[in-house]
A and B are shown apart, each in its own frame.
Chain A
Amino acid sequence: MRFGLVVDEQPDGFAGLLATAGEAEAAGFDLLWLPERRGGDRGWIAPLVVAAALGPVTGTLRIGVEVDLGAVNPLHVAEDAIVADLALGGRLVLGVRPASDRCDEAVALLLHALAPRPFAFAGPAWPTPAHREGNVFNLEDRLRVTPAPAQLELPVWVVGAPEVAAAQGLASVAADGEPGDGTAALRLRRPALRAVPTDFDPAALVAALHAEQRGWGLDTVLLRLDGPSRAVALARVGSRVRPRLQMDRLPDGLVEHWDATLPHQPNVR
């Protein structure tokens, strides 16, 4: 199972994010997840800008963003994502959540834009190219969004719209408290957002995640750690939760051995 950390914007802004990235990486996390601000929540404005900034200052963490899709031309989201992926050296995961009733069309256009070949798209909201009156010179019949992402296939995960994900053959991020799609194709990841208090009980968390892993096939958990002492909580996930979910079954006695020999707060800096 892979582990991601949901990080909202805190008062210490980018400096705080950098510190959190270091802590997450040290605890063995695979990715950070940066949600876009919506309403009065604490998400990031323009998370793709923030993601790009993490490129030269992080090493191996994947950087996931959760951005609205459907409110503006999806080509802009595609372009921002491509440039962010290049700045990250191919470590972006693009999460998209519906921001209008045009999400189906938006996702379809986004996928065309991320592919390294020219295309024509006949959607009602965003016909591409549009052949607008007044555009005259050197118009294209088929458009190519350039450059291509760094990744040969940039992961696109759909948040909060499993039917859209299924229709497009994309991974669907299960919302907190909701099970995911157990029928998704094998090649797709099965991620889920899960809010957990920082004073979580490791055994209970392991049991809950293991049940989901065996149930609908959860393979990437995006944890939002709510509460104080997040650095300590990260370390506890790294040593007391993550190792117990990398196999279906551990030998009898191994967990007890870990409980007896690992420091109470390992790897805390």
Chain B
Amino acid sequence: MEIGVALWTMQSTAAAPANHAALYAELPAHARLAEQLGFASLWLAEHRFWYDGWCPAPLVAAAAAAAVTTRLRFGTAMLLLPQHDPRRVAAAAAALDRLSGGRLDLGVGLGHRDAEFDGLGVARPTRGRRMDEGLDVLLEAWGGDLAPVQHPHPPIWVGGMAEAAIRRGARRGLSFLLPQTLYPEEVAKLRADVHAVAAEAGVAPGRIGVLRDVWVAADGPAARREVLPRLGVHYREEAGSWWILKGRQHGFADPAQLDRQLSRITDTALVGTPDEVAEGLAALEAAGADLACLRLHFDVTRAGIADALRRCAEAVLT
């Protein structure tokens, strides 16, 4: 199973303020370290129009890191394709793939926040159709002037696990990058679903990737006492502000429901000793994951990220 690191979002949050120029200045150094340590890939994310300046253009940001590395791959988890003109995405992806020597993994997701769609003049209910059209445009656009280095094109990883997402990606033979809240048995089930749809379509199935929140420490219980609450604070802000819960109101309006949703995130996080984390990753591999994107980089962990990368590499790459 390949091991990548995630998730560079370039957020300057209330919990962990940061100068944005500094965030972007340190990305190349983080990438160099990840490459030196032997990680396969580094993943960035996309959102927009939020107070903390979450990176709205991960392909542009990744270019700076690509310029100072030679082997590390760069992925998007996820680029919100329905919010874009897919021809423009094809061009940006081709440019990044070329200047990196063929190291792009293009993860695409639907997006979920109404304000982002509305700011761009897109109706959110059209996102499924726009994703379908966008994927078809991407797959056709790469060639000629927009020829990337990787042939026939950079790997495309579809984010999402709903039936529509599985059908959308699997019948095109695309890979999947599954969210961090899935237990290994759920990963195995989705993998089987992907393979079934691909077989039905007569195409080879893509790969299965999984995001996972991870923190490695010598003292497992202490790490869980310290780190899990910090992750909880991080996700609570996003979920409370953005997620629409049952009852069709956003998270902060229903704290009890929000707590229930958030508990799954901390339940599935791999926070512990090297052996504990390695055991958790082995379970994902046994479930059929080809790639694990380990999320160590949060606003609240940014200060110690270099050491965190080193501990994680020692635990899972040796």
Contact = CB atoms under 8 A, between A and B. Distances in A.
Contacts, number: 169
Interface in A75-132: 75-76, 79-80, 82-84, 86-87, 89-90, 126-132
Interface string A54-93: 1111000000000000001101100110111011011000
A143 interface: yes
Contact of B60 (A45, A83, A90, A145): A83
Interface string B32-71: 0000000000000000111111111101110110111000
The number of chain A residues touching the other chain, given as a range, is 35 or more
Contacts of B59: 46, 49
Contacts of A46: 59, 88, 91-92, 94-96
Contacts of A130: 118-122
Contacts of B84: 76
Given A54-B67, A143-B119, A79 B57 contact: yes
Contacts of B115: 129, 135, 137-140, 143
A139 B120 CA distance: 12
A44 B95 contact: yes
A134 B121 CA distance: 11
B282 to A, nearest CB: 36
Interface in B243-269: 244, 248, 250
Q: Is the interface of B mostly helix, strand, loop or mixed?
A: helix
Contacts of A75: 119-120
B125 interface: yes
Interface in B84-112: 84-85, 88, 91-92, 94-96, 98-99
Contacts of B12: 147
Contact of A139 (B68, B85, B99, B118): B118
B55 to A, nearest CB: 6
A146 B52 contact: yes
A227 to B, nearest CB: 24
Contacts of A44: 95
Contact of A14 (B23, B85, B91, B99): B99
Contact of B88 (A13, A37, A76, A129): A76
A49 B60 contact: yes
Contact of B99 (A13, A87, A89, A132): A13
B25 interface: yes
Contacts of B189: none
B181 to A, nearest CB: 21
A50 interface: yes
Interface string B113-141: 11101111111111000000000000000
A83 B66 contact: no
A71 to B, nearest CB: 8
A48 B60 contact: yes
A72 to B, nearest CB: 4
Contact of A138 (B60, B120, B125, B242): B242
A183 to B, nearest CB: 35
B57 A80 contact: yes
Contacts of A52: 60-61, 63-64
Contacts of B145: 37, 45
A145 B48 CA distance: 7
Interface in A122-166: 126-140, 143-148, 150
B21 interface: yes
B95 A89 contact: no
B85 A87 contact: no
B183 interface: no
A132 B123 contact: yes
Interface in A1-38: 13-14, 37
A53 interface: yes
B67 A72 contact: no
B34 to A, nearest CB: 15
B63 A53 contact: yes
The 8 closest A-B pairs by CB, nearest first: A147-B53, A46-B95, A79-B56, A53-B63, A134-B125, A14-B99, A86-B24, A130-B121
Interface of B: 10, 12, 20-21, 23-25, 27-28, 48-57, 59-61, 63-64, 66-68, 84-85, 88, 91-92, 94-96, 98-99, 113-115, 117-126, 145-146, 241-242, 244, 248, 250
Interface of A: 13-14, 37, 44-46, 48-50, 52-57, 72-73, 75-76, 79-80, 82-84, 86-87, 89-90, 126-140, 143-148, 150
